[in-house]
Amino acid sequence: MASISGYERPDLRDLLAFYAEAGVDDALADDPIDRFAENVRQQTAAAQQAARATPSGAGRSEAVPARNDRFAAAPSRPMASASVPDEAQAAAARELASKATTLDELRQIMEGFEGCNLKTTAKSLVFADGNPQAELMLVGEAPGRDEDLEGLPFAGRSGQMLDRILAAIGLDRKSAYIANAIPWRPPGNRAPTPHEAEICRPFIERQIALANPKVLVTLDGLPAKLLTGSPDVIVRLRGNWKTHTTASGTVIPVMPTLHPDYLLRNPAHKKLAWRDFLEVKAKLRELSGS
Ligand code: URA
């Protein structure tokens, strides 16, 4: 922080980091600017200038793009289209997801899927980390900035917390499989909308069916709601076994628990997560008969 006559001003770097974290990546002025009108003005001026410079009048109708005309002068590349989330996108996701017969196929299908608007602003598809053969699968909500940059779930501070939680029950990323309910980062880490969750639901459901874990842990409310159908808030849900039924009818026990980010903000509640993970450990023992 810089101090100017007693006023604490944030360092410019901190401020820019804050904006980047919030998903602000374009500089805007205080007053709105009509770039389209500006663009037309520039094109008209360029065309008039070209016409004046061509004595014969040849090429009069050809507009010369102005140097800073970012629309007209832009190289022609396909524009990323942001689909408005609706039921048609969710139906397309369901159909595509059901075709995947392996996790690799599913990842490829998701890489090629253009029906989720979140993909437009995300840098990566955050598919999974860990061991797909593991008995335990954890499902988080959605990638944040670190995960989007690395292309891996729980890559940042909350991931370190998750690693400590797993270590407490004798597991690590080689003995657990980790994914997210939403595989693309929502801009500025905003909460995914119900439509976005519905579009992504078939993918995480298929991922679970293909990984076929013995036990699922959902981290936070959204994956718990999506996978168990329970409308309860996470503080009421957590610590109580629920189930997830795959499309082929396999019933998987689900332990809804608190998100590592929440535990970082509320360390006093770590004891609740600890209890939940002891339950998970006991369930894994019970199901593997040891
Ligand atoms: N929070 C999540 O829910 N998932 C991640 O991958 C990272 C943070």
Looking at the CA of residue 178, tell me the nearest atom of ligand 1: 6
Domain ranges across the chain = 36-71, 87-288
Q: Is the pLDDT of residue 42 over 70?
A: no
Q: How far from chain centre, in Å, is Cα 135?
A: 25
Q: How confident is the model at residue 83 (pLDDT cuts 50, 70, 90)?
A: low
Pocket test of ligand 1: the residue of 157, 261, 264 to mutate, having most ligand atoms within 8 Å of its CB, is 261
| Least confident range of 12-16, 93-97, 103-107, 184-188 | 12-16
Q: Is the pLDDT of residue 21 over 70?
A: no
Report which protein residue has its CA nearest ligand 1's atom 7. Answer: 154
Mean pLDDT of the chain: 85
Q: How confident is the model at residue 37 (pLDDT cuts 50, 70, 90)?
A: low
Among the listed residues 179, 174, 173, 220, the one whose alpha carbon sits nearest the alpha carbon of residue 200: 179
Q: How confident is the model at residue 14 (pLDDT cuts 50, 70, 90)?
A: confident
Percent of the chain with pLDDT over 70: 72
Q: What are phi and psi of 93, to 5 degrees?
A: -65, -40
CATH of domain 87-288: 3.40.470.10
Q: How confident is the model at residue 64 (pLDDT cuts 50, 70, 90)?
A: very low
In the prediction, which pLDDT does 163 show? 98
In the prediction, which pLDDT does 12 show? 74
Strand 129-130 relative to strand 176-180, pairing: antiparallel
Distance 92 CA to ligand 1 centre (A): 25
Q: Which residue has the higher pLDDT, 5 or 51?
A: 51
In the predicted model, what is the mean pLDDT of residues 20-42? 63
pTM check: above 0.95: no
In the predicted model, what is the mean pLDDT of residues 57-83? 40
Could you tell me which residues come within 8 angstroms of residue 253 by beta carbon, excluding any fewer than 6 positions away?
214, 215, 216, 241, 242, 243, 283, 287
Could you tell me which residues come within 8 angstroms of residue 115 by beta carbon, excluding any fewer than 6 positions away?
83, 88, 89, 92, 93, 199
Residues with beta carbon inside 6 Å of ligand 1? 140-144, 147, 153-154, 158, 180, 219, 261
Contact call for residues 220 and 234 (beta carbons, < 8 A) = yes
> Which DSSP state fits 12?
H
